[in-house]
Structure 1
Amino acid sequence: MDIEQLNKSQIILLTLLISFITSIATGIVTVTLMDQAPEGVSRTITHVVERTVEQVRPKETQVATVIKEVEVPVIVTEEELVLKAIDKVSPAVGLLRAESTSREAGVTLGTAWLADVAGHFMTAGSLVKDKGRYEVVMESGEIRLLTVTRFSAGGEVAVLSPKAGSVGETAEPSTSVVPLELGKSDTAVGQTVISFGATVRGNHRVAIGIVADLFAGTGSQTGSTTIISTNAASADNVGGPLVNISGQVIGLSLEPGVAVGKKVITSTIDSIN
């Protein structure tokens, strides 16, 4: 076959055929030489080939993920605060009654509540007599034996101190009962308040109301607001604590609609410590 008689298409096909045969021959020779080459040379050639492939290969697309932290506000309703305050206060509130060894044994008088870690209780002065001996039945069924040892200046508040008890009864403060905490802020008109009263069934009467008015009472210090007018105070919770929605004591119920403020309570407690 005379190559000069080939047309353009035939020349191209012939060129491709020769290139293909040459490539196959080159591959065969290369493989043969690699098999016969020393180990160091083979390793170098392999490394060069791998680096070449890495540079030619396109890089994968990287997608950056941005995580943004969003603070979600926790909304606490007044109802939830009230329920929490009731759970906090109830264990320290008990039923006040005449001592079981007295002539008036078991007579229910009202409510008293644990005021400090020394085991002192507070109640309304109208419920007890000076040096009188009484019992306070706690929510847990525990009985505290107490004696009246102090009254506030105006007689609104009485302090009952622990005394030695008999078998099954105790005057020692229980580590499981936490004394009530006095409020840290001033009482304000319109403030939501909760009053507590103990019952013979071992549970509590709870009343929720607002502070309607604040004024100075006869037993107060000059210029001090000590009397609270509130619809939370009732005949069922005389002697019981009046607390804010944080469970802190801001007063003590004296009679329906009336409670004494925390300043009288604080000064009375301070006088025995």
Structure 2
Amino acid sequence: MDIEDLTKTQLLLLTILVNFILSIATGVLVISMLDQSPAPITQTVQQIVDHTIETISTPISSPIVITKPSPTTPTQEQQLTAAVAADNARTVLIYKNSTSTPALAYGVYLPKSRAVATSASAPLPKEALIAFADGSTVEASLSKQGTGITIYGFADAAILPTAPAANPVAAADLKQGQTIVALTKDRAAIIGIISKVDATGITTNLAGVPAGAGVVDLSGNVIGIGSPSGILLPTDRIMAVLESVSP
């Protein structure tokens, strides 16, 4: 039979048969050559084959992606709740000798300074009893006065309750329309805004803030204290009196 008389299918089968025979012949030849080769060459070929098989069979590991949770932002309700709690913890009552008599004034407790600031218009005694929000009482002494501010200090050995730091906010950092929080005489929470900040003090729409009681921002930081006139006294005045040198 002439090869030109073969069909395409027969030609394809013939090609496959020839390739198969050549593959077998090549394999036999390689094995024969390896058998006749020195041991080092045989070991090298075997290592290449083994390494190739390992490379093919090793799965490609996917990179591990670690997703860090994004920090949660507190809601306005959570901020208000925390601010009220901080203000309440720092609100104190000032008595002359005993809590059985009416309180003389409200004050704001400054934990880091171990002091109480107030702006009561009535004369205050040199020695007083400070009643804290947790029900504890500690004796205090009038230490400094100035610009409508009175400061009471405690003895070094006095054990004072734990309360959030006041973190006083300077008047220059306050903004018109800023939300503020305070407590009334019966410790009811009230919310308002800053209307104006000038040399006279901080004007707000809050009503019922006792003189000497602290007013805070949404972070619970003290921005001022109530005064007899109704205008808040900025923390700048408190810090100025605290840092002044006693005569």
TM class, shorter-length: 0.5 to 0.7
Whole-angstrom CA distance in 2 between matches of 1:191 and 1:18 = 91
Q: Look up the match of 1:176.
A: 162
Matching of residue 212 in structure 1 with residue 215 in structure 2: no
Q: Look up the match of 1:141.
A: 135
Deviation, 1:137, is: 2.0
Whichever residue aligns with residue 215 of structure 2, its letter is: L
Aligned with 2:177: secondary structure? coil
Q: Look up the match of 2:89.
A: 91
Deviation, 1:247, is: 2.9
Deviation, 1:259, is: 2.2
User: Where in structure 2 are there 5+ consecutive unaligned residues?
Assistant: none
Whole-angstrom CA distance in 1 between matches of 2:25 and 2:197 = 110
Residue 162 of structure 1: which of 154, 164, 169 is its match? Answer: 154
Scaled by the length of structure 2, the TM-score of the pair is 0.66
Whichever residue aligns with residue 85 of structure 1, its letter is: A
User: Where in structure 1 are there 5+ consecutive unaligned residues?
Assistant: 1-5, 165-170, 216-224
How many residue pairs are counted as aligned between the two chains?
231
Q: Look up the match of 2:203.
A: 229
Q: Does the 8 A contact of 1:234 with 1:256 survive in 2? A: no
Whole-angstrom CA distance in 2 between matches of 1:266 and 1:14 = 104
Q: Look up the match of 1:239.
A: 212
Q: Deviations over 1:46-69 (max 9, x none)?
A: 568x49xx7xxx9xxx9x99x9x9
Whole-angstrom CA distance in 1 between matches of 2:19 and 2:79 = 89
Q: Look up the match of 2:182.
A: 195
Q: Does the 8 A contact of 1:113 with 1:122 survive in 2? A: yes
Deviation, 1:180, is: 1.8
Whichever residue aligns with residue 169 of structure 2, its letter is: G
Deviation, 1:233, is: 4.3
Q: Deviations over 1:76-101 (max 9, x none)?
A: 6544443343344433222333422x
Matching of residue 151 in structure 1 with residue 145 in structure 2: yes
Q: Deviations over 1:190-224 (max 9, x none)?
A: 3322223575xxxx433211223445xxxxxxxxx
Whichever residue aligns with residue 181 of structure 2, its letter is: I
Alpha-carbon spacing, 1:197–1:19, altered in 2? closer, same or farther (3 Å): closer
Whichever residue aligns with residue 158 of structure 1, its letter is: T
Q: Look up the match of 1:3.
A: none
Q: Look up the match of 1:120.
A: 115
Give runs of aligned pairs for residues 250-265 of structure 1, distance below 5 A. 250-255=223-228, 257-265=230-238
Q: Does the 8 A contact of 2:105 with 2:120 survive in 1? A: no
Aligned with 1:108: secondary structure? coil
Q: Does the 8 A contact of 2:128 with 2:140 survive in 1? A: yes
Deviation, 1:240, is: 0.6
Deviation, 1:121, is: 0.8
Q: Percent identity?
A: 21
- Pairwise CA RMSD: 4.7
Q: Deviations over 1:166-206 (max 9, x none)?
A: xxxxx72537335522213524443322223575xxxx433
Q: Does the 8 A contact of 2:140 with 2:155 survive in 1? A: yes
Aligned with 1:99: secondary structure? coil
Q: Does the 8 A contact of 2:170 with 2:234 survive in 1? A: no
Q: Does the 8 A contact of 2:134 with 2:161 survive in 1? A: no
Alpha-carbon spacing, 1:210–1:272, altered in 2? closer, same or farther (3 Å): farther
Alpha-carbon spacing, 1:247–1:262, altered in 2? closer, same or farther (3 Å): same
Aligned with 2:153: secondary structure? strand
